[in-house]
Amino acid sequence: MDKFFDLSGKTAVVTGATGVLCSDMARELARRGVKVAVMGLEDDLTKQIADEINDDGGTAIGVVVDVLDKDSLIRARDAVMEEFGGIDILINGAGGNHKNATVSPNLSFFDIPKEALQFVFNLNILGTIMSTQVFGEVMTKQGRGSVINISSMNAYTPLTNIVAYSAAKAGINNFTQWMAVHFNLNYSPDIRVNAIAPGFFLTKQNHFLLVDEKTGGHTPRAKQILGHTPMNRYGVPEDLLGTIVYLASDASSFVNGVVIPIDGGFSAYSGV
């Protein structure tokens, strides 16, 4: 099976690659011989992660990009093409929630500001679509490629309080299916679009929801989450890497338009 999972010599673009989860994805791809474009908003962080990959024997460049700015995306694409000459894998990792778009004891649903809702929708939906427009266009000219979107368990079962993020991730699932069909029918049967739907991972975006700021222990919400996760733990970044490699490689050559849950059994458990 080694040849089906072989990624050596391919090139990957990873947006949101300065985050906890996607930075590990970038590192794992590099360990497997992929040339990686580490993309994020902060120049220092993108270069730091790229430098770490290069120091470990991989090949990477750090590229600053704003996924909501098409000119920025085009400049990033040009940098990748100049350095690596192609794009085989696109991970649309830029996304996240916003505290002001989350219902809390201090903020009711009826008082959530439009700007916060729009921020979450734009970052998750528009950021994914626009990145696929710009980087996916390269794949249409090559006639091949694998796009991996980042969905969430919230897309299937919306969590209380997280109104904008849940709806936005549901949109990612729909776009994943739409884009998979569109690429195949209009450009090439060898371009695939899939997604992963992580369960609960402790990240910067949800830290304020899951960790009590005063005690450092679990919040009541965190206890509910773990109680409804049969494996009784949060995911760690390494839990995502096997599926990422699978979707990026020829091992999944007939897998298209699917969303794979990686959730410790959360979606399978009814609570009783």
Cβ neighbours, 10 Å, residue 143 = 11
Contact 183, 139 (CB under 8 A): yes
Question: How many structural domains comprise the chain?
Answer: 1
Query: What is the secondary structure of 215-227 as a DSSP string?
Result: TSSB-HHHHHHHH
DSSP tag of 158: P
CB 97 within 8 A of CB 166: no
From the list 7, 9, 29, 67, the residue with the least C-alpha distance to 241 is: 29
What is the mean pLDDT for each group of 10 consecutive residues in the chain (272 residues)? 93 96 97 98 97 98 98 98 98 94 95 97 97 98 98 92 95 98 98 96 73 83 90 93 98 98 94 84
- Is 73 among the domain residues? yes
Distance from CA of residue 30 to its chain's centroid? Answer: 17
| Active-site residue list | 165
Q: Looking at the domain assignment, is residue 214 inside a domain? A: no
Is there a domain that residue 230 lies in? Answer: no
> Which CATH number is 152's domain given?
3.40.50.720
pTM listed for this prediction: 0.94
The alpha carbon dihedral of 173, 178, 181, 187 has a sign of: negative
Looking at the domain assignment, is residue 162 inside a domain? yes
At residue 241, the pLDDT reads 98
Residue-range definition of the domain harbouring residue 115: 2-201+236-264
Q: Nearest 5°: phi and psi at 32?
A: -95, 15
Asked if residue 55 belongs to a domain, the reply is yes
Q: Are 126 and 135 contacting, i.e. CB atoms less than 8 angstroms apart?
A: no
Burial of 51 (0-12, 13-18, 19+ CB in 10 A): middle
Residue 140 lies in a domain: yes
Q: Residue 153 domain-assigned?
A: yes
Residue 225 lies in a domain: no
Which pLDDT belongs to residue 211? 80
pLDDT at position 205: 65
